[in-house]
Every structure is written in C-alpha cells, then in structure tokens.
Structure 1
Amino acid sequence: MIVKEVKALILLITMMVIVVAAGCGSSNTAQQSAAKSAKEVVEFKYPELVYFDYIYLADELGYFKDANVRPKYVGKMGAGQVIPSLVNGSIDVATRHTPVVIAAIASGADIKIFTSGSSSTKQWPHMKYFVRAGSDIKSIKDFNGKTIGLNSFGACAEYVTKKYLQENGGDPSSINFKTAPDDQHEMALAEGHTDIAIIHPPASGRASNDPKFKMLFSDYDIDQGLSSMCPYSVNGKFLKEHPEAVKELTEILIKTAKWSNAHPQEAKDIMAKRFNMKADQVELYNFSEDQLVPEAGVQYWIDRLVEVNKLTPGQVKLEQIYTNEYNPNYRK
C-alpha cells in the first residue's frame, strides 16, 4: 500500500515538473519569438520633401505600424540631392524621376527602380507650367529667352520642357533655368525672379488656386503621360540585404495606391495636414494600382537620354534599371 502511494506521489510530482517546464518553455519561446519579431523590423532611411509621396501617406494611414518594414526619416533635402544620397547610402529608398535614376546607373551606381510610383493623367498631371496673370507668355512658342523655375536639373522638368520647345521651333539653349524646391516657386514667380514656374503636387494645387498665376499647360498636355513615371528606387546594398523588406514595402505602396485612388479627398486632407496647406489647394498624383514598372516608360527615357547625348546607344540595358520581381502582381 505504502509502495503504491509512493509511486503515485512520484508520478504526480513528475507530471507537475513536466507541466511547469512546458509552461516555462512556452513562455521562453514566446519571449524569444517576440524578441525575434522586434529584431526583424527593417528601417529604411528616407528623406522628407514637400512632395505628394505615398510613403508619407502610408505612414499617416498606419500601414507601417504592424509591418516588418518602416521608414526612418533623415530630414529634408533638395530634390537634386535625393539620387546622390541614394547612391551613397545616406538614404535607402527614394522617389525621383526616371531619367535621373537611369543617368546614375549609367555612371555605375548600384540602385534600381522597383515600383512605378506615379504617372500623369489629365486630372492629376505630374507637373504644371505657370506664369503670372497678365503675362505675355501664352504658349511654348513664347519660352525663348525666358527664366524658368524648376526643382532640379536632369529630370522631367528640364528634359520635357526642352523637347517640347524644340519641337515647336524654339531654342532650348536660350532658356535660363533656376532651381528651387517646389514650394518656393510661387514666390519667385510672383516677385519676378522667374517668368515661368514648373510645379509638382501638392504645391501645384496652391498655385492653381492663386489668382496671381495662370496655368499654361501640364506635362499631360505635352505627351499624354508618356514621360511622367516617377518611380521608387532602392539602394543596391539595401536590396541585397533586405529583399523581403522591399517586397513588403512594394505591397504597402500597392495598398496605399488603391486607397488613395478610392479616397482622393481624404488623401488630400492628410497631405494638407502634413504640409500645413489648405486641403482645397492640395493636388494629388495618380498612382497605378498594380505598381508594375512599364517597360515603355523606361525605354522612353533611355531613348531621350541617347537623343540628348547623355547616354550612348546600348550603354544601359532595361534589366539594369528596373525590376518587377518584388511585386506580387508580376507574372513572368
């Protein structure tokens, strides 16, 4: 009898030890899992610009809150600094116009386009051309010898304008370009420091609503959006080290594009608050909802850069410039 009671007691104690150990093990596993999850969050360095940017919008919508990738803002910088900063690793991800990215890659930069970003539509063009109200500048034919404000050289504003002027019998070499951030062009134009201002969203909306200015045309009026793709690019080292983070970021951008296109007023309200602007003066970008990079949009800029002797034929290949590999909508 005593032997049976002892055996029963031993069995009970053994079972209790196993249960406690399992509980501790479960607790340790949970703690390890939580720690591991915390470590897996990848931050990408990103600039702060006065620009209608889906990274900012996604952040305001809380899409990065539970994600394993999120932006780490590194402060303001001029548009002309963005791609050099991406090349040298000061930032990890950037949105800048396609020709700037191609030119950097042609010079040996290890960066790559991974989503299409924004494109131009009649309602939401990529950029608008403004003059002072009452100006004698009525069309592209009046641009010769004028001073034009733009956000940087080597991108859409410079190349699209020069091409359009040349196609209409003008002389691009007669133009005096002055660079400044988009949100500063209105003042320069109003004070007479420039004759024409090329402005991107969201600031283009403020200029459109200001009676001191008159819009001449947009980039969509020039080429129906062919030149307009303003993609997201990634530093090559970051891409190699964090491919899953780039994949998740692509998915977040797709989600944000769909939300913004479905809720344009709410998107404007969010950007207005971020940039301390009036919501009715904010303009949007149109973002393709699949975020696939179109070959035609890249090839256009390769051909254009060859045309202006910034590239030699065959100097860069399409696969060097962009990839759709991280996009869930991509089908080989």
Structure 2
Amino acid sequence: MYGSLTLAATALAQPLPLRLGTGGAAEEQLWLMQAKPDVGPEQGKAYTLDVTRFPGTDKRFQAFEAGALDLATASANAAMLAASEGAQFKIIASLSRESTQGFSTKYFVKQDSPVKTVKDLKGKTIGVNNLNSSSHLWAKMVLEKNGLNPDRDVTFTPVSFPAQGEALRSGKIDVGAFPQPFATAEEMKGGVRTLFTSKDGVPFDEELMVVIASPAVLASKPAAVKAFLGDLVASTRYYNGNPKPARQALIDGKQVRISPDIYLPMADYYRDPSARVDVKALGQMQDLLVAKGFQRKAVDLATLVDLSYLPAK
C-alpha cells in the first residue's frame, strides 16, 4: 500500500509535457525560454516544452488543428480569421505588438528601384509571408490610401520572411515585407530603402503575435499552462529589461542565427510585460478585417480570449 502511494505521488510530481509550435519573428521571449530555461522557475518542474519551429503560420496552424500541438504562436489577425472559420482554441497571451511604442514592420524596395512612391507600385509584385496575413493586409491598406486597387493593380506573392531579402535582391519581388530581425539584417547589408511601414496602413496599435491553446490542453493540464505562462511573463520582463544579454543568450543558444553586430542593437517590437492581450485593439483589427473582406464574419472576442491562465496583475 505504501509503495503504491509513493509511486502515485511520484507520478503526480512529474512535469507535464507541453507541445509548442513557434515561428520565426517577434517571439524572442519564447525562444529565450529554450535558450535560457532558468529565466522562469517552473520549467522542468511543473512542465516541459517540446518545441517545433515552423517557417510559416499556415503549417503551424495545420499541425495545431491536427492535434500535434498543445500551444502555438500565431499572428493575431490569422488567429481571429481561423476562429471565425470554426477553429477551436483560446488566445491566452500576447507576445508582441505593432505599436508606436516600438518597431513597426517595414516594406523595402531596392535602393535603385524605380519605385519612389506607393503610386509607382502599379503592375509590381509585393512579397508577403502568406496571403490574408497581416503583412498582406497592411500593404493593401497602404495601396488603397494611395489610390491603387490592391486586387487589380499589383500582384501579391507568398514568400517566407527569411527568404524575402533574396527575393527582393534577385528581382523576384519589387517590394518585400520585413519584420525584425530581418529588417535590420537587410538594412545592414545595404542596398534597400523603406517605402512604407505597417503603421502607414493601420495607424492604431495592434496585437502582432499571440499564444493560442487547444481546449484539450486547457482542460487536461491547466496547472502546467498556468506555470508556462508565469514563466513567459518572467521571460518577457527579463527580455525587456536586459535586451542585449537576452539577445546574446538567443545567439549562443542558436535560437537566432544573425550576427551580433546586427541583432544586439536592433530596434524591437513593444512587448507588454504582463503578456496580457489588448482586447480593444483586437476588436479594432477585427472590424477592419471584416470590412476589407479578409474575415467573413466577426468572432466573439470575449469568448476567444481567455486571460485567466496568466498571473494576476
């Protein structure tokens, strides 16, 4: 009897595995939890992370919907679109924002490009990471503001963020979308210039990257999810307060493969230290997504967003 109780207690004390899918931009505090696990006290005790990095949002969502992931990162816009189409998940945390308080995604042309203004883009090709993505929406908004029809006057082509620089320099695209750290990397190489930014398209602050969770993991491992988010908040605060040591840890841990000369001093996105989602900003973006035809119908954000797993303020 005693042995059975000991085995049961030992089993209960084992950290629970969480399968996490990540991407390639604006998620540094999550990557830091791999490169510097001691940034949060609960990893290895309450939970463990099994992390898979995906080059694009589409493959990540496919794996998530197939049940291969418990948690995943997603652009806020893609998350709302997927939820409106029936995907089942909760948005449980914010990672980064496109904000006037930090870096905003840049759209580059080559330095010697004949494209001098947005109006010169008629007949040109614009690279975006995915169709119906945030980078697609921002570009469409800028085109409309400058009198162009984004459905007729330009061609949008999907190019992953890491491949945008080569696509631009080789002439496969005339304009590329560059989040960090790709924007700074291309600027340091030279030969590119900014044509517009995301905030020229959407002037208000908006959620950029969020964390989503499956209903199954929230039901079966709530304590592990809470512990994970507590560590995420700790990692965010460490990253915000110690950007250069945090970025060096990412380089040393091979989470980022960019020269320290580029990566350490780069301008960065705003990251809420509490990791709480700005639901009002989500509502503004959703109104725009629906109005522009990116999203067929609105989703109830009060149901979609669940911040109860985050540490109390």
> How far apart in 2 are the matches of 1:221 and 1:171?
16
Residue 132 of structure 1, CA deviation: 0.8
Task: Pick closer, same or farther for the CA change 1:29–1:76 going to 2, 3 Å.
Answer: same
Aligned to 1:239: 218
Aligned to 1:69: 47
> How far apart in 1 are the matches of 2:290 and 2:193?
34
- 1:255-311 alpha-carbon deviations (Å, 9 max, x no partner): 111111111112222333423210232244331001111122210222012202344
For CA contacts below 8 A with separation 6 or more, give which structure has more relative contact order: 2
Question: Does structure 2 conserve the Cα–Cα contact (< 8 Å) formed by 1:219 and 1:228?
Answer: no
Give the one of 79, 92, 113 matched to 1:101.
79
Q: Does 1:145 align with 2:123?
A: yes
Question: Does structure 2 conserve the Cα–Cα contact (< 8 Å) formed by 1:148 and 1:177?
Answer: yes
Q: Does 1:164 align with 2:142?
A: yes
Q: Does 1:254 align with 2:238?
A: no
User: Who wins on radius of gyration, i.e. which is larger?
Assistant: 1
Give the one of 194, 197, 202 matched to 1:215.
194
> How far apart in 1 are the matches of 2:160 and 2:291?
28
Q: Does 1:186 align with 2:186?
A: no
Task: Pick closer, same or farther for the CA change 1:271–1:182 going to 2, 3 Å.
Answer: farther
Question: Does structure 2 conserve the Cα–Cα contact (< 8 Å) formed by 1:117 and 1:232?
Answer: yes
Task: Pick closer, same or farther for the CA change 1:103–1:184 going to 2, 3 Å.
Answer: same
Between stretches 79-88 and 297-306, larger displacement belongs to 79-88
Give the one of 284, 288, 307 matched to 1:304.
288
> How far apart in 2 are the matches of 1:319 and 1:132?
43
Q: Could you tell me which amino acid in structure 1 is paired with residue 13 of structure 2?
A: S
Residue 172 of structure 1, CA deviation: 0.6
Question: Does structure 1 conserve the Cα–Cα contact (< 8 Å) formed by 2:25 and 2:179?
Answer: yes
> How far apart in 1 are the matches of 2:206 and 2:281?
7
Q: Secondary structure at the match of 2:189?
A: coil
Q: Could you tell me which amino acid in structure 1 is paired with residue 257 of structure 2?
A: N
> How far apart in 1 are the matches of 2:124 and 2:272?
35
Aligned to 2:306: 323
Q: Secondary structure at the match of 1:135?
A: coil
Residue 190 of structure 1, CA deviation: 0.7
> How far apart in 1 are the matches of 2:45 and 2:119?
51
Give the one of 33, 39, 44 matched to 2:18.
44
Give the one of 269, 273, 279 matched to 1:295.
279
Residue 48 of structure 1, CA deviation: 5.0
Q: Secondary structure at the match of 2:275?
A: coil
Between stretches 60-69 and 261-270, larger displacement belongs to 60-69
Task: Pick closer, same or farther for the CA change 1:324–1:166 going to 2, 3 Å.
Answer: same
Q: Does 1:90 align with 2:71?
A: no
State the identity %.
21
Task: Pick closer, same or farther for the CA change 1:187–1:245 going to 2, 3 Å.
Answer: same
Residue 185 of structure 1, CA deviation: 0.8
Question: Does structure 2 conserve the Cα–Cα contact (< 8 Å) formed by 1:115 and 1:232?
Answer: yes
Question: Does structure 2 conserve the Cα–Cα contact (< 8 Å) formed by 1:44 and 1:72?
Answer: yes
Q: Does 1:280 align with 2:261?
A: yes
Question: Does structure 2 conserve the Cα–Cα contact (< 8 Å) formed by 1:147 and 1:176?
Answer: yes
> How far apart in 1 are the matches of 2:190 and 2:164?
15
**What is the aligned residue count?**
303
Task: Pick closer, same or farther for the CA change 1:328–1:71 going to 2, 3 Å.
Answer: same
Structure 2: stretches of 5+ with no match in the other structure = none
Q: What is the CA RMSD across the aligned residues, in angstroms? A: 2.5
4+ runs deviating over 6 angstroms: 27-31
> How far apart in 2 are the matches of 1:140 and 1:226?
22
Residue 169 of structure 1, CA deviation: 1.3
Question: Does structure 2 conserve the Cα–Cα contact (< 8 Å) formed by 1:46 and 1:91?
Answer: yes
The TM-score with structure 2 as length reference comes to: 0.87
> How far apart in 2 are the matches of 1:175 and 1:271?
38
Question: Does structure 2 conserve the Cα–Cα contact (< 8 Å) formed by 1:188 and 1:194?
Answer: yes
Task: Pick closer, same or farther for the CA change 1:65–1:320 going to 2, 3 Å.
Answer: closer
Between stretches 189-198 and 230-239, larger displacement belongs to 230-239
Between stretches 321-330 and 157-166, larger displacement belongs to 321-330
> How far apart in 1 are the matches of 2:239 and 2:74?
20
- 1:155-203 alpha-carbon deviations (Å, 9 max, x no partner): 2101111112112212111221222221111111111111111012222
Q: Could you tell me which amino acid in structure 2 is paired with residue 43 of structure 1?
A: P
Q: Could you tell me which amino acid in structure 2 is paired with residue 286 of structure 1?
A: Y
